[in-house]
Structure 1
Amino acid sequence: MPAATLPALFISHGAPTLALEQSATTNALARLGQNLPKPRAIVIMSAHWLSSKLELSSHPAPVTWHDFSGFAAELYRIRYPVAGHPALAESLAQQLSTRGIACSVNPLRALDHGVWSPLLHLYPDADVPVIQLSLPQHYDSHACYQLGALFAALRQEQVLLIGSGNITHNLAAMRWNAASIDDTARAFKVWLLAQLKTHIPTALDWQQFAAAEDVHPSAEHLLPLFFVLGAGQRVSVVHESMAHHSLGMDIYRFD
């Protein structure tokens, strides 16, 4: 029988402490890993790798990079000993180059917490090879969407496409462990999901939301959403929650 087509996923990875948590968000990630067909590889775009041009990680055994400071010592002891997939990274870079997209492989890139903190819960055995995709600094939502469309066929080849960021992300508005929820962040989530379900062009122009800068002062945590939207346009909500007052922790599936 032919292998099932995998979805594309948008994961709100939150703070690095996600790696240590047992929460509704991490439970949702664990269920996804248990219920999806096992991928042969993962291609993941994280908000934490900004670059001048498109790059794909090609280290055969990428390092777990603790790209943060000020957290508990146990967080820095975590390792996610996953393999890379240099051959697939090289192949993808060649295919993109033939389409006129400036890109290259990066054999030195380590995995940042936008990659390993959610994957610890999604695939805790670290048994699915990972390629990290950079987010070029000049890309907007439309460019990310177009790139995702180029990667869409990989879903039929047992490659899981992931965008890792946050559905809302304003560090200045965060209140650690607050029980209250920021009304603007919640309104943005409702508005954006409605656009994703009914009118994708409006979703791509997300900055027309009246208070867009209040939920995303910079765009890098939202742009990975549009990468996976380009790869699979039918959206469903896997998980919805807020953390630390203003941090949206939603997980979306695109088929």
Structure 2
Amino acid sequence: MTQPSLFISHGAPDLALSDSPARHFLEKLGKGLARPDAIVIASAHHEARGVAVRAPARFRTWHDFGNFDPRLFEMRYEPPGATALADEIVAMLAAVGLNPRREASDLIDHGAWVPLSLMFPAADVPVVMVSIDPSRDSHWHARIGAALAPLRERNVLLIGSGSISHNLRAIFSARPGADRAWIEDFTDWLEDTIRAGDGPALLDAMAEAPEAQRNHPTDEHLLPLFFAFGAGSRAPGRRLHHSYTHDLLAMDAYAFGRL
């Protein structure tokens, strides 16, 4: 079984409780996928210098946020870690000169556990977390994904979890019905570029895409897209979902490879 590479927008933590199109999409997506033997996920909230690979015997839920519905802090999503696969991933990344390391932490952040809890609610698929490094560029993150792309042919699902737009200042100050043209210009450009398989343009999105800096004042939530692109063998992708939460938080999702 060959799995796709996915990019998903994980939204705010309250996605886990919201009655939103994005939540329903992720629930449906999980049901529609062939059950993977393992999941490798690169979350925008798992930052490290270089590449850190995390896979404890069992993950522990990290409520890495505040000021949300108290019910969120009672939620637990604690899948097993794919420990042997993590060792193999370290070797695969080392073979291409990325100098990875294993992490001792057992925490799983909301950028991983919130979407995974919707896609695979039983928490029974083993997981490996691979970090992002905001000091590195899009090409570097695509290299990480490309190094792990062969795992897809072994029924391992590769996921980049970030946000297709992520201007928190605009979101927090938005009023209902706020203008989204600047987000649509950016996300439409991404869709066209990804569908065309224009890797050079995509990897230079922060310079080439319209309104890129406004959508991503910092780019850590876009870096998982480049991981997913590399993991999809830099092939053309297709947009699976487009909606909004919190008025200005776009929730686009992409697949690279057949679902």
TM-score (norm 2): 0.93
Query: Over aligned residue pairs, what C-alpha RMSD do you find?
Result: 1.4
Shift of 1:181: 4.3
Q: Distance between the aligned counterparts of 2:106 and 2:218, measured in 1?
A: 23
For the structure 1 residues 210 and 186, does the alpha-carbon distance in structure 2 shift closer, same or farther, using more than 3 Å as the test? Answer: closer
| Matching residue within 241, 245, 248 for 1:246 | 248
Number of aligned positions between the proteins: 252
Instruction: Give the corresponding residue for 2:183.
Output: 185
Q: Can you give the 5+ residue segments of structure 2 that lack an aligned partner in the other structure?
A: none
CA distance in 1, matches of 2:216, 2:200: 19
Aligned with 1:195 (options 179, 193, 196)? 193
| Structure 2 match to 1:125 | 122
Match of 1:39 among 36, 40, 52: 36
Specify every segment of 5 or more residues in structure 1 that has no aligned partner in the other structure, as ranges: none
Q: CA deviation at 1:128?
A: 0.6
Q: Distance in 2 between matches of 1:192 and 1:103?
A: 29
CA pair 75-149 structure 1, distance change in 2 beyond 3 A = same
Alpha-carbon deviations, 1:16-43, whole Å to 9, x = none?
0011123211111111111111001000
Q: 1:172-230, CA deviations, whole angstroms, 9 ceiling, x for partnerless residues?
A: 11156734342101110001111112222111101222421110000000110011111
Aligned equivalents of 2:168 and 2:86: distance in 1? 33
Matches within 5 A, 1:102-117: 102-117=99-114
Q: Which residue in 1 is equivalent to 2:214? A: 214
Q: Which string of whole-angstrom CA distances, capped at 9 and with x for unpartnered residues, describes residues 48-77 of structure 1?
A: 111111011021111100001111211100
Q: Which segment is superposed worse, 172-181 or 101-110?
A: 172-181
- 1:56 and 1:44 map into 2 onto residues whose CA distance is 10
Equivalence for 1:152: 149
Identical-residue share of aligned pairs (%): 40
Scaled by the length of structure 1, what TM-score is found? 0.94
Q: Residue in 2 aligned with 1:205?
A: 204
CA contact (8 A) 2:38 2:82 kept: yes
Distance in 2 separating the partners of 1:165 and 1:34: 21
